[in-house]
Amino acid sequence: METSERVAGIIAALKQEYPDALCALQYKKDYELMISVRLSAQCTDKRVNMTTPALFERFPDAKAMAAGTVEEIYHLIKSISYPNNKAKHLHEMAQKLERDFQGKVPEDMELLQTLPGVGRKTANVVMAVAFHKLAMPVDTHVFRVSNRLGLANAKDVLQTRLWKLRNSW
C-alpha cells in the first residue's frame, strides 16, 4: 500500500472517530494559547486548563504580565510542573512581546522562537492553531506513532516534522 493511501485511510478513520477534534487547551486569544502551550510542557492539558483562568484574569495581555513579577506568576502557576522556570520564561516572554512586538504574538515561526521559553513545538502549535498556518507540531508521541504507522521514516522529532512537511498529504 502506498503511503498516500495509508495516510488517507488513517485520516478518514480519525475524522470518523473524532469529527470535531480541536485543541484541548482553553484560550480566547493567541496570547493565551501561546502561554497555555508553554505551560503544557510536561503537564496535562487538564491541569493547564484548571490553572490558566486565574492567570489570564490577573494578566489579560502581555503588557499586564510584563508589568507583573515572576513571583506573582509563580503563585498562579505553582500547581503546574516546573513553575519556577515557567514563571521566569513567561515574564521574560511578556517583556519581549511588549518591547519588540507591541504586545502582539508574532505570526512568524522564527520570531516566535525568539521568545523566551518558546521552542519549535510551541511555535508550531501557535502557528497551526492560532494562525491557521501550515505547521507540524511534532513531539515524542507524534514522532513514535508516525514511525510505527509508517507515516514517517525519521530518526528524531525534527526529522519527522521535516519529513511530513516535504511529503505533505
CA triple 158-36-161, angle to 5 deg: 15
Other C-beta atoms closer than 10 Å to the C-beta of 121 total: 20
Residue tagged active-site, from 121, 133, 155, 164: 121
Please identify which of the residues 108, 139, 156, 164 carries the catalytic annotation.
Answer: 139
Q: What is the largest CA-CA distance in the chain?
A: 57
Closest CA to 116 of 94, 84, 143: 94
Q: How far apart are CA 34 and CA 127, in angstroms?
A: 10
Known active-site residue 139 = yes
Catalytic residues: 121, 139
